[in-house]
């Protein structure tokens, strides 16, 4: 079964995601998030090499899919410090980095789904977090770009569900890319 992004609550999924990121940024991370674009992201990405961390969450309900958050490690460390009330980003070690990035993705995805479909409960799988480059996680996913503390961040939404073996199915293209 393949789900579609065409249902009305997700017609403006990018607006909903920006609102969710803003909500998380201001309430839990004491910082700002602004809409950005692919050009700004592509300009910054090479300079950060493999210093990226990516969290992926499968969500399931009347609509299902994958939510992927890609952030620079240095930003994730700063945000993690702000979240936990730590004095400096140095206090955020590797374990905390992975944990926090997963939880950050969880908060954004959950806030987005709650606002988009306030009546319906979604199940969120535990996040999968990997370190590496800024390469896109899922081919054909819808993407949006943000700036958080003047640092580029990318969100991806791949609409679809997993097959019987538990592997993600090839998502529908949503933005013509």
Please report, as ranges, the residues that interact with another protein according to CB under 8 A.
23-24, 26-28, 30-32, 80, 82-87, 95-96, 99-100, 102-103, 106-107, 109-111, 113-114, 117-126
CB of 123 to another protein, least distance (A): 7
CB of 127 to another protein, least distance (A): 9
Q: Which residue, 46 or 85, has its beta carbon nearer to another protein?
A: 85
Exposed, middle or buried, 121 (CB in 10 Å: 0-12/13-18/19+)?
A: exposed
State how far the Cα of 110 lies from the Cα of 95, in Å rounded to an integer: 22
For the beta carbon of residue 43, count every other beta carbon within 10 angstroms: 11
Q: Rounded to 5, what percent of the chain is helix, strand, coil? A: 40, 25, 35
Q: In terms of Cα–Cα distance, which of 145, 169, 138 is closest to 68?
A: 138
Q: Which residue, 84 or 139, has its beta carbon nearer to another protein?
A: 84
CB of 113 to another protein, least distance (A): 8
CB of 157 to another protein, least distance (A): 16
Q: Which residue, 112 or 159, has its beta carbon nearer to another protein?
A: 112
Q: Which residue, 57 or 138, has its beta carbon nearer to another protein?
A: 57
Q: Which residue, 107 or 157, has its beta carbon nearer to another protein?
A: 107
Do residues 130 and 53 make contact, with C-beta atoms less than 8 angstroms apart?
Answer: yes
Tell me the backbone φ, ψ of residue 27, rounded to 5 degrees: -85, -35
CB of 36 to another protein, least distance (A): 15
Q: In terms of Cα–Cα distance, which of 144, 118, 163 is closest to 36?
A: 144
């Amino acid at each position: 079964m393949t789900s579609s992004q065409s249902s009305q609550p997700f017609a403006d999924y990018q607006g909903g995601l920006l609102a969710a990121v803003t909500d998380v940024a201001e309430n839990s991370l004491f910082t700002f998030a602004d809409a950005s674009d692919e050009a700004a992201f592509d300009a910054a990405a090479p300079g950060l090499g493999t210093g990226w961390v990516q969290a992926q969450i499968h969500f399931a309900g009347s609509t299902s899919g994958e939510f992927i958050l890609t952030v620079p490690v240095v930003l994730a460390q700063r945000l993690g410090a702000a979240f936990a009330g730590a004095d400096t980003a140095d206090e955020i070690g590797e374990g905390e980095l992975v944990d926090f990035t997963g939880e950050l993705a969880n908060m954004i995805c959950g806030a987005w789904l709650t606002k988009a479909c306030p009546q319906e409960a979604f199940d969120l799988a535990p996040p999968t977090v990997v370190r590496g480059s800024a390469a896109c996680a899922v081919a054909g996913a819808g993407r949006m770009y943000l700036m958080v503390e003047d640092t580029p961040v990318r969100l991806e939404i791949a609409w679809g569900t997993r097959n019987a073996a538990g592997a993600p199915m090839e998502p529908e293209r949503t933005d013509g890319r």
